[in-house]
Amino acid sequence: MKFTGISLALGVFALAGCSTSRSFVPYGVNLSTTAHVVSEFDLQSASSDGRRFYVRGVDGKHTTDRVVQAPTDVYLLPGKHAIDLEYQHAGMSAESHLFVTVKAGAEYVVHHEVLGYSVKVWITEGEAGPTVSEKRS
């Protein structure tokens, strides 16, 4: 079988389009005892226009080596955690460091608001629940 440049390019494009986002799950943890932190973009059924949140670290430990795409959501044991986030859109990025205390079985959502040249980031319990972190730029 001989591949042409076009068929090879289409194959690579199809594989890239089918990729799913990565989750960060601590090794050996039972998911039923964790909290799930996910971005508002992962919950939307419509296009996010290329906007993404990546979890760069949890409690001072990196979730990626920057060679592999950082996860877009994390599973955490109950308790207080420090989460390092990176917001990306249109070739620009902004980093934020948030503290949050999570409960087992709960879902937490990372939200954002663009204010001029800065991005304000916060976490709520559930998609429209109470704010559980401070709002940071």
Q: 32: which DSSP letter?
A: G
Q: Would you say residue 105 lies in a domain?
A: yes
pLDDT digit string, tens, across residues 122-136:
999 998 999 999 888
Contacts of 23 (CB under 8 A, 6+ apart): 71, 72, 73, 74, 75
Q: Quick check: is 3 in a domain?
A: no
pLDDT digits (tens, 9 = 90+) for 94-103: 899 999 999 9
Tell me which residue range forms the domain holding 93.
22-125
Number of domains within the chain: 1
Looking at the domain assignment, is residue 2 inside a domain?
no
Residue 59 lies in a domain: yes
| Within-domain flag for 43 | yes
In single-letter form, the type of residue at position 85 comes to L
Residue 16 has pLDDT above 70, yes or no: no
Q: What is the pTM of this model?
A: 0.74
Question: Strand, helix or coil at 99?
Answer: strand
Is 88 part of any domain? yes
Q: What is the pLDDT of residues 69-108, one digit of tens each?
A: 778 889 999 999 999 998 888 888 889 999 999 999 999 9
CATH of the domain at 103: 2.60.40
Residue 69 within any structural domain of the chain: yes
Contact 95, 56 (CB under 8 A): yes
Closest to 101 in 3D by CA, of 136, 132, 61, 135? 132
| 16 belongs to a structural domain | no
Residue 20 has pLDDT above 50, yes or no: no
> Predicted confidence band at 68 (pLDDT cuts at 50, 70, 90)?
low
pLDDT of residue 4: 43
Which tokens sit at 113? 């608001």
